[in-house]
A and B are shown apart, each in its own frame.
Chain A
C-alpha cells in the first residue's frame, strides 16, 4: 500500500525566504506526482505535475523535483510571499489504477 508523508507538517517563515517542502512515498512504482495548494475552506489548485520519467518541473517561483528511486519529491519556493500562505499537498498516482494518494500536507505561513 502506498504511503505518502510530508515534512514538515507546519512551517512559518519571514517573507523573502527560500524554502523547501518535502514529500516521500513508499512505493516507487508511480505514474506521476502532483503538488497542490489548498487555501482554507477551498478546493485544490494544481501547481506542478511531474511524470515518472521527469526529474523536475518549474513554474514561476516554484520548482518541484522528483527522485523516484529514493521515493522523494521536493517543492522549492523562491522568495516567499505572504500570499504563498496555504497548505501544500503532494499526491502520487499509481502505475496501475487512477487514484491519487495524498500526503498529510504542509501548512505554510509566510509572515510579512
Chain B
C-alpha cells in the first residue's frame, strides 16, 4: 500500500503558540488530502479537504483562520494550529488519496497535540 507520513507524531506546546503538522505522501502523488480530528474513544471527524494549489474546503464549524491548511505540492499538505488553546488538544490525522487510481484512502500515523 501507499505510504503517508505525518510529522511530528506528538507535540506539546504552550497556549498562544502555533504548531505546524506536516502530511507527506511518500510514494505517490495526492491532488487531495484530508485532515481529521479525533477525540479520545471517538471516531474521526473531517476538518477540511486540502486541494493542491488552491484553497482548502473547511467543514461546517471548523475555524479556517485557526486551522490554516496549505497544500503547496502534490506530496505535501500542512496544518497549522494558530494561537493554540488547551481545547485544541486532540489527535490529528491526515489522509491522502492517489491522483487517479481506485480512490483508496491512506492515512498518516497521526499527531497527538497537547496544549498546556
Interface residues, chain A, CB within 8 Å of chain B? Answer: 31-32, 34, 36, 41-46, 49, 51, 89, 91, 93, 98-105, 107
Contacts and interface: CB of A to CB of B under 8 A. Distances in A.
Q: Which of B46, B97, B103, B110 has the most CB of A within 10 A?
A: B103
Contacts, number: 58
Given A32-B103, A34-B105, A42-B110, A99 B49 contact: yes
Contacts of A46: 1, 104-107
A34 B43 contact: no
A36 B110 contact: no
A102 B105 contact: no
B50 to A, nearest CB: 11
A93 B41 CA distance: 22
9 contacts: A32-B102, A34-B105, A41-B91, A43-B108, A89-B43, A91-B44, A93-B103, A100-B95, A107-B41
Contacts of A104: 42-43
B111 to A, nearest CB: 9
B64 interface: no
Nearest to B57: A99
Interface residues of B, number: 25
A104 B65 CA distance: 28
A107 B102 CA distance: 28
For the complex of A and B, 3 pairs with smallest distance between CB atoms: A44-B107, A43-B109, A43-B110
Contacts of A51: 102
A104 B4 CA distance: 23
A49 B102 contact: yes
